[in-house]
Amino acid sequence: MGRDGGISWLCVPRFDSPPVFCGLLDHERGGVLRIAPTAPAHTRQYYLDDTGVLVTEFETDTGVLSVTDAFVLADGADLSGAPAGRGELVRALQVPHGDLEVELVLSARGQVDVARSAGGLRINSSACPDVTLQVGASAPLAGTRTTWRLRTGDRVYVWLRWKDQQHSLNLDLDQGGPSNAAEAAERLASTIGDWQRWSERIRYDGPQPELVRRSAITLKMLDYAEDGAIVAAPTSSLPEEIGGERNWDYRFTWIRDAAFSVYALRQLGLGAEADHFLSWVLDMVDREGEPRVLYDLDGGQPSRERIDAELAGYRGSNPVRWGNAAADQTQHDVYGEILDCAHQRVSNGYGLDPGLWQWLARLANLARERWQQPDHGIWEVRSAARPFTYSVAMCQVALERAARIADQLDLPGDRAGWEREATAIRRAILEQAWDPKQEAITEQLGSPEDGASSALDASVLALPLRQVISGAHPAMVSTTRAVVDRLGAGDGLLYRYLVDDSPDGLAGHEGAFLLCSFWLADNWTRQGRIDEAGQLYESLCARANPLGLLPEQIDPTTGAFLGNFPQAFSHVGVITSGLNLAEALRKDRAETEA
C-alpha cells in the first residue's frame, strides 16, 4: 500500500494473476482501493514488529487516522509450510484522537460492473474476467466512493475478498467473510500473532539484525504458500531506467534464485521453508526432460511475453509487459543451480529417490556436454548468445555437486569423470576467461583475438560464493579490484555490466544492481578486508526504504529505486552478506582472544 492510502497494485489470487488494481502502472486507468483523510496529511508507514502487517498513519490539522493492512491468515496458520491464506485483505481504520473526514475510493481497470450483495459491493472488471471482488465494511458503504466522519476512538473495518473462477469454484463470497467489526478485529489479531510466532524461529546474531529479520519476512511474503515457490518480485514493468524499455515481469520463480534463497533461509534457522522450496524445485524439474529457466507458480510454462498497449507505464515508462520471454532462452547455469539445491538437501540429511537421482545425474552429464556452448547468461541478454563465464562456472558446480552427492549417498554415476571435468572447467575459467591486460576474469571464455568480448561482468564475483574459485585466489583478488574500477558507480554501487562494452540487445541503460554490491562485500570478507566489507554492507543496508525494503537496482546519481520491488535477490544479499560478515567477525575475535 502507498503512503497515500491506496492499494495501487494487487494480483489475486496469485502473484502471477492479472492485476485487479494496477494504478502503479497507470494512475488514470489502472485502478485503486484508497482509504485516506480528505484533508491534506503528513504520513508515515511501518510494519508491526516481526510481521507482514503494515500500518499507515495520517496526521491532519484536525486529527490522526491509522490504517492497518493485512492479508488475513487462517486461524492458527502454520506459516512454515501449508497454505495459510484466507483470500482476504482486512483494512482496519482507527482514530486515536481528533475528528476527520475519511474517504474510501474504489476503481478498477477496464469496464467495471458494480452490484450490491449480502456481503457488500460485488465488482467485476473486464480486465480480470475470471476474478470477482467483494468489498465489505463495518460502516455503511454508499458505493465506490464513500465518506465517513470519524472521531476519537472510532474504528471501522474494511475487507476485500476475491473469487477466482478457475481456482475457487466453490467459494461463496457472501459466506465466510467477517460479518462485523469484532470478527474482523479477531482475524487481524490472529494474523499478527501467527506472524510473530513464525518470526521467533529466525536465528541471527550479526550486523543489521532488524533489517536481516525484515529481509527474512520479505522472502516469506514472496513465498506462494500453496506449494513453496518464491517469486523474484511481486511486480511487473517497474523500469530499470525511467522512460526506458527495460521493463520486465518478475512474478515467476527462477531456478537460479533457488540455491541462493534456500541457503539464506536455512542459515537463519528456517529449514522448513527451505525444504518446502527445495521440494517444489525438484518436483518441477523432475517432470521434464529439460529444466526450464523459470516457472509459473504451478511449475508450468509462464505466459508468453506480451506488451500491454493500454497502460502508460510507471512514470511513462513503457512498454508494460506481462509474461517473460526469458522462459524460452538457453541458460546453462540452471544445471548447477538445480544440483546445488539437491546437494543442500542431501547435506541436511535427506536422501534422493532413485528416479530423481537418475535425472540429476543426466543433468550433470548435460553440463559436461554443453559448458562450452553459448547461452544467454544469468542476465538474460537479448543479444547473441555467448559462452558466459558465470554459466560455465555453474556447469562446474553441477559436476562438482553431482560427484559429492554420489559420494555421500554411494549412488551410481561417473563420479571420477565428473570430478575431472569440474577441474578442467575451473582451469578453463582461469585461462580462457582471463584478460592479462585487465588482470581480471572477464564475462566470457575466449580471447579478443578470436572475437570474444573482454568486457567485465560483476557476476564473476559470485564464483567464490559457489565455491568455484576461492575468494582469496590471486585471480579473484585482482578481478575484484578490476570490477570495482570498471563497473563501480560510486558509493560501493556496481553496474552488473556496461551496455557500451557488452551490448545486450536493448536500448538505453540501467541502474546499479544491488546484489552485485553485496557480492562485492562477500569477496572483501573472504579476502580479509573485513572493515571495508562491513562499511560497504552498512551503506547498502542504509539504502533500504523506511519499511526495510529494497529494489532490484539503484540510480547512482539520485539514489532512487529502479526495477521491480521488493526484489528477492536484494534481500537474499542482505541476509547472506550479514551471515558471512558475522562469521568472519567471530573468527577474527577468536583469533584475537587466542
58, 44 in Cβ contact below 8 A? no
CATH 1.50.10.10 maps onto the chain at 209-593
Beta strands in 255-302 (DSSP E): 294-295
Highest mean pLDDT among 165-179, 220-234, 374-388: 374-388
Over 60: is that where the pLDDT of 171 sits?
Answer: no
Q: What pLDDT shows up at residue 169?
A: 41
How is residue 412 written as a grid cell? 551410481
What is the CB-side half-sphere exposure of residue 510 using CA atoms within 13 A? 28
Phi, psi of 368 (to 5 degrees): -65, -35
User: Binning pLDDT at 50, 70 and 90, where does residue 299 land?
Assistant: confident
* Statement: residue 301 has pLDDT above 70: yes
> Nine-digit cell at 156?
471501522
Cα dihedral 520, 525, 530, 534 sign = positive
Mean pLDDT of 386-415: 97
Residue 590 CB contacts under 8 Å (≥ 6 apart), including other chains:
none
Whether the pLDDT of residue 185 is over 90: the answer is: yes
What is the C-alpha to C-alpha distance for residues 280 and 455, in angstroms, rounded to an integer?
A: 36
| CA 437 – CA 430 distance, rounded (Å) | 14
DSSP count for the chain of H helices, then E strands: 12, 26
Burial of 265 (0-12, 13-18, 19+ CB in 10 A): buried
Secondary structure of residue 507 in the 3-state scheme: coil
> How does pLDDT run across 452-497, given as a tens digit for each residue?
779 999 999 999 999 999 999 999 999 999 999 999 999 999 999 9
Beta strands 63-73 and 54-59 are antiparallel
User: Other CB atoms closer than 10 Å to residue 316's CB: what's the count?
Assistant: 10
Nearest to 409 by CA among 447, 354, 457, 468: 354
Phi, psi of 103 (to 5 degrees): -120, 135
- Quick one: CA dihedral 122, 123, 126, 132, positive or negative? negative
Q: Which long-range contacts (CB under 8 A, 24 or more apart) does 585-589 make?
A: 585/206, 585/530, 585/534, 588/530
Look-up of cell digits 575466449? 446
The yes-or-no verdict on residue 412 having pLDDT over 70 is: yes
H or E element, residue 343: helix 333-347
Identity of the residue numbered 381: V
pTM: 0.95
What pLDDT was estimated at residue 170?
44
153: left (phi over 0), alpha (psi -120 to 50) or beta: left
The pLDDT of residue 77 is 65
**Closest by Cα among 482, 498, 495, 369 to 434:** 482
* The predicted structure's pLDDT at residue 473: 97
Share of the chain above pLDDT 90, in %: 73
Domain 209-593's class? mainly alpha
Residue 81's pLDDT band (boundaries 50, 70, 90)?
A: low
Query: How far apart are the C-alpha atoms of 222 and 233, rounded to whole Å?
Result: 7
SS3 assignment for 55-108:
EEEEECCCEEEEEEEEEEECCCCCCCCCCCEEEEEEEEEEEEEEEEEEEEEEEE
CA distance 67 to 574: 29
- Grid coordinates belonging to 84: 495459510
* The pLDDT value given to residue 175: 58
Helix (H, G, I), strand (E, B) or coil at 39: coil
Phi first, then psi: give them for residue 77, nearest 5 degrees: -60, 140
Q: Is 88 helix (H, G, I), strand (E, B) or coil?
A: strand
**Better-predicted residue by pLDDT, 73 or 37:** 37
> Residues of 51-65 as b/e, b for ≥16 C-beta within 10 angstroms?
bbbbbbbbbbeebbb
Confidence of residue 136 (pLDDT cuts 50, 70, 90): very high
- Between 37-46, 130-139, 475-484, the lowest mean confidence (pLDDT) is in 130-139
Q: What integer best gives the mean pLDDT of the chain?
A: 91
Three cell numbers written together for 479:
578481478
**Residue 418 near residue 454, CB atoms below 8 Å:** no
Mean pLDDT of 72-101: 81
**pLDDT for the residue numbered 177:** 62
Residue with cell 573485513: 530
d(C-alpha 117, C-alpha 549), whole Å:
38
CA distance 313 to 22: 10
**Angle formed at CA 593 by CA 590 and CA 594, multiple of 5 degrees:** 85
Cell 510454462: give the residue.
301
Using CA atoms, how far apart are residues 187 and 72, in angstroms rounded to an integer?
7
Condensed to tens digits (0 to 9), the pLDDT of residues 336-355 reads 998 998 898 898 888 888 88
Residue 225 has pLDDT above 80, yes or no: no
Maximum average pLDDT range among 132-141, 217-226, 288-297? 132-141
What would the pLDDT profile of 431-456 be if each residue is shown by its tens digit? Answer: 999 999 999 999 999 977 666 779 99
**Cell 537463519 sits at which residue?**
268
